[in-house]
């Protein structure tokens, strides 16, 4: 499956490297055959748990929205990059967007 990863997010990950922090909004697979279940019982949290174990880092911020299949995550560029490699990840972007009246209306 091709993942939809925002180029702006990829640029921020590269710039942050191992030491800098990146915040990402990550959408996980909602299909039962793709979504994994962890000991906490949440679909897709295994993607985060696998990355934490492999990189040996913890994120500085995590918010999991299970009904939407979304993780809002802040951590090193290395950690975010590793999470994006997980098969449960469908798409990811930055949490902020620039909206103006002209763009909306």
Model confidence over 51-96: pLDDT tens digits?
999 999 999 999 988 888 899 999 999 999 999 999 889 999 999 8
* DSSP state, residue 60: S
pLDDT at 17: 84
pLDDT at 46: 82
Long-range Cβ contacts of 95-101 (<8 Å, 24+ apart): 95/23, 95/24, 95/25
> Against a cut of 0.85, is the pTM above it?
no
> Does residue 15 carry a pLDDT above 90?
yes
Domains of the chain: 4-95 (3.30.70)
């Amino acid at each position: 499956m091709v993942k939809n990863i925002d180029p702006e997010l990829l640029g921020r990950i590269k710039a942050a490297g191992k030491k800098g922090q990146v915040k990402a909004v990550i959408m996980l697979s909602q299909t039962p055959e793709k979504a994994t279940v962890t000991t906490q019982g949440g679909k897709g949290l295994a993607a985060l748990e696998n990355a934490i174990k492999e990189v040996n880092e913890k994120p500085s911020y995590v918010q999991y929205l299970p009904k939407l299949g979304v993780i809002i995550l802040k951590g090193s560029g290395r950690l975010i990059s590793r999470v994006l490699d997980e098969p449960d990840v469908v798409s990811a972007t930055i949490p902020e967007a620039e909206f103006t009246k002209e763009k909306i209306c």
